[in-house]
Amino acid sequence: MLRDVHMPPRSPISGALSTERLDHSDPLLFEFRARVSAHAELEGKPSLLLDRTAFYPESGGQMADHGRLGGLEVLDVQVDGDGALHHVVAGALPAVGSEVVGQVDGVRRRVHMALHTGQHMLSRALLDIARAETVSARLGETSCTIDVDLAEMAERDVARAEDLANAVIDDDVVIRSFFPEPEELARLPLRREPKVSDHVRIVQIGEFDWTPCGGTHCLRSAQVGLIHVIGVERYKGGTRVTFGAGRRAREQLAGESSVLRRLAEQFSSGTRDVPAAVEKLRRELDAARDALGQARARLAQRAADEMMEAARAAGSPWVIGAIDDARAELLRAVAKRVTEESSMVALLAGCDDDGIPVVVARGRESAFDCGAFLKRAAQAAGGRGGGRPERAEGRMPAGIDWPSLVRTLIDAEVTKKGG
């Protein structure tokens, strides 16, 4: 499900089920102590409710933290419809009232923080450079996207926005999260309006961007490390920008670089020469295809001439042939040549990976019904095929003797007509 990145989290509910959010004040707190306030269930899976937590629940487009809680693996963290914060765990639950140690998977969290902060920066840069407003954003396990309201976006503008966001990383500006008073909030140049009216949390990136958000973010822009745009495409009347940040971006770039190096090795060239090497290969392939086409045409001509010669010598209109290794294209070419002679009928078989392709075609003055004939041939041999009286195509099972099948059927027809 797509959720908006800038949807602030629900306010903690009062009473026994409220959970103090330690991640709000310190996004780098990866180990904490807490008391179990209740055992619960989320979609049929056992969960723990705590008096305080540093685990980030999935919300606002940011994925849930993983880690360990009281020695148990934390599989998911979610806030339910009543505002209760569930830690879905596997194993025997520690007693209500007992103290547990929580350990947030710091590598995973840092990736999420970099992606989330990178998303704020790239959204701001796209707005500043191209007046493209972010409609929604998604930070997934494998890909992250920003959808903007601009139907047309020049690649050059996206590259400039990427540059601008990376320049803010280089500047290593402070990123702070705070809850401003209404008067201060009204003065802030927010990138977009908050979705709640009170207790609005603002994430400020230097003097670059102010956005209402409840997610976890880096504390300084340099912690984002790198923002890398992977793709730009049209999407639902707007534009979708796919990107990576931090460790995710480094892994993506390393993966692409490794593919490029392997390609360069194949071409015995430098990585920068790969496009030229591919282009050369394409030209050579085109030339080879042309040469193959010409050779095929010459072969078809020769095969047709030989078979027609034999038919003429026998005073017969039937040009019957099985051509070794001929694919359907070659058969069509031979049939075309044969049927230029208006009284002749071509009854041709070839051979390819899937069996025996067959083509039956008649010259302009012949009254032979190619479609009906091929249907009978297919019935007799267990193949398939059919077509118009003028020409028909089909396929016979491997191993059949096409010339004798054709002769048998033609003889039967002539006998029937004669009798």
CB of residue 111 vs Zn ion: minimum separation in angstroms?
Answer: 14
Distance between CA 419 and CA 417 in Å, rounded?
A: 5
Give the ranges where 45-138 is alpha helix by DSSP (H). Answer: 106-130
The letter for the amino acid at 144 is C
Q: Which two tokens stand for residue 362?
A: 């008649």
Q: With contacts defined by CB under 5 A, how many residues of the chain interact with Zn ion?
A: 3
The letter for the amino acid at 249 is A
CB of residue 239 vs Zn ion: minimum separation in angstroms?
Answer: 21
**Which residue, among 326, 308, 336, 340, has the nearest Cα to 402 in the 3D structure?**
326
CB of residue 61 vs Zn ion: minimum separation in angstroms?
Answer: 8
Antiparallel, parallel or unpaired: β 31-42 and 67-69: unpaired
Q: Which is nearer to Zn ion, 116 or 362 (CB)?
A: 116
Q: Which is nearer to Zn ion, 45 or 199 (CB)?
A: 199
Footprint on residues 159-218 left by Zn ion (CB under 5 A): 213, 215
Cα-atom radius of gyration of the chain, to the nearest Å?
A: 36
Q: Which residue is nearest to Zn ion (CB)?
A: 213
Grouping H, G, I as helix, E, B as strand and the rest as coil, residue 74 is strand
Q: Which is nearer to Zn ion, 121 or 334 (CB)?
A: 121
Q: Which two tokens stand for residue 49?
A: 């409710």
Distance between CA 311 and CA 307 in Å, rounded?
A: 6
Q: Is 382 left (phi over 0), alpha (psi -120 to 50) or beta?
A: left
Could you give the count of Cα atoms lying within 13 Å of 169 in the half-sphere of its Cβ? 25
Q: Which is nearer to Zn ion, 215 or 394 (CB)?
A: 215
CB of residue 152 vs Zn ion: minimum separation in angstroms?
Answer: 27
CB of residue 118 vs Zn ion: minimum separation in angstroms?
Answer: 10
CB of residue 226 vs Zn ion: minimum separation in angstroms?
Answer: 18
Footprint on residues 78-137 left by Zn ion (CB under 5 A): 116
Antiparallel, parallel or unpaired: β 318-322 and 345-349: parallel
Q: Which is nearer to Zn ion, 109 or 116 (CB)?
A: 116
CB of residue 58 vs Zn ion: minimum separation in angstroms?
Answer: 13
Footprint on residues 261-290 left by Zn ion (CB under 5 A): none
Q: Which is nearer to Zn ion, 28 or 274 (CB)?
A: 28
Distance between CA 41 and CA 139 in Å, rounded?
A: 26
Q: Which is nearer to Zn ion, 144 or 320 (CB)?
A: 144
Q: Which is nearer to Zn ion, 213 or 361 (CB)?
A: 213
CB of residue 214 vs Zn ion: minimum separation in angstroms?
Answer: 7
Residues paired with 202 in a beta bridge: 178, 212
**Which residue, among 306, 339, 341, 342, has the nearest Cα to 321 in the 3D structure?**
306
Where does this chain bind Zn ion (CB under 5 A)? 116, 213, 215
